[in-house]
Amino acid sequence: MITFETSEMIDQVRAMLHGMVKNIVRPIARYYDDHEHERPKELEAFKPIMQAGMGGGKRSKKEKREIKQTEDRIGSNAIGVVGAEELSWGDVGLMLAMPGGGLGNAAVNAVATDEQYERFGMKYCAMAITEPGCGSDASAVSATAVLDGDEYVINGEKIFVTDGDRCEAVVVWATLDKSQGRAAIKSFVVEKGTPGFRVEKLEKKCGIRASDTATMVFEDCRIPRTNLLGDPEIKAEGGFKGVMQTFDNTRPLVAAMAVGCARAAYEFTREALAKEGITIRYDRPCLEQTAVERDLIWMEAQLEVMWLLVERAAWMADNGRPNNLEASIAKAKCGKYGNIIVQKCVEILGPIGYSREYLLEKWMRDNKVNDIYEGTQQIQMLVVARRILDYGRDMLS
């Protein structure tokens, strides 16, 4: 059964990361917000940690069978969400810019064979899904991958690729056959330097400016057929689920990022108010508390709920249980309420919250993206409704 007690290992990971984030990440957050696209050299200290996390993220097929018989396993997902929260408490943009591991690594962990993991598991992988004509509906991917002998030839354009410039490889979603719909969509690993693959431009953004966001172009880009992740067969039933399983791993991470950023805003606001003698009187009934006190208590409650949802989704993944519904619930709740909390903090502190002298206004800009990428708020609500009501794609839109 899931427990609300944290393990000693999790506590140690959190404490170690918190100290590093406080001393390394927070002090440089404003600089890299002002110097978009400059590579944060200070983050090299985190590379061994990120790679260690990736090394624990993949299990062999035998291990996956055995894990279904275990209980209360603390695995890479539980550790990953703690890491994402703490790093985002420091800075969401810099968290995304951490060297050694990107969103594409979650795809490798989810569907790669053991042999593929040996080749790609320790590479810094971005993930390319979105296209100029394909956003929230991932099944509408139009980039193509055509088998030619022992190679796939990829053509298409991808936009809004997180860490697209700094990564070592990118996991590209492309279709094997447009006429067969979503079942023909597969994910392919394309390494940097492959002929026919180029980074076209970098976006200038409202938030997460320390992280690069790229447009990628693939023109007759040839890769080995063994770079197709997982099963190359097109299956009319369930063929798309393997690709979509990536989101079951990444959505709890994004939800944890929203928690970390919102917690940073809440703690800053509470500390700023305490300096002015404004504290929460927990021993007073609600009607005797001030509006600010009630707002702070409400934020505390929301942060607790958000984190429990994240923990549940991660625990289920670590213990071999399908977590598609729980991952989307966590992403929907944390994405939305993380933004509400940060905005409320800005409102409470007024000029202090809006001033660039402090990081609070930056956290408001940064946290917005956690409600957008990896599936927007509206997409998450559709996923949740479909799972609860047991509706198919054509029954609820």
End-to-end CA distance of the chain: 35
Q: What is the rounded CA–CA span in Å between residue 184 and residue 274?
A: 57
Q: What is the rounded CA–CA span in Å between residue 390 and residue 293?
A: 41
Of 86, 293, 311, 374, which residue is the catalytic one? 374
Q: What is the rounded CA–CA span in Å between residue 257 and residue 88?
A: 5
What is the number of residues in the chain?
397
Burial 140-152 (b: 16+ CB within 10 A, else e): ebebbbeeeeebb
Contact between 221 and 194 under an 8 Å Cβ cutoff? The reply is yes
Q: What is the rounded CA–CA span in Å between residue 383 and residue 397?
A: 10
Is 36 known to be catalytic? no
Q: What is the rounded CA–CA span in Å between residue 355 and residue 137?
A: 37
Q: What is the rounded CA–CA span in Å between residue 81 and residue 93?
A: 16
Angle of helix 360-367 relative to helix 26-34, nearest 10 degrees?
70
Contact between 21 and 87 under an 8 Å Cβ cutoff? The reply is yes
Catalogue the long-range contacts made by 342-345 (C-beta closer than 8 Å, 24 or more residues apart): 342/261, 342/262, 342/265, 342/367, 344/295, 344/299, 345/265, 345/266, 345/268, 345/269, 345/299
Name the pairing type of β-strands 197-202 and 144-148: unpaired
Structure tokens at 13: 């990971």
Q: What is the rounded CA–CA span in Å between residue 345 and residue 42?
A: 29
What is the set of active-site residues?
Answer: 374
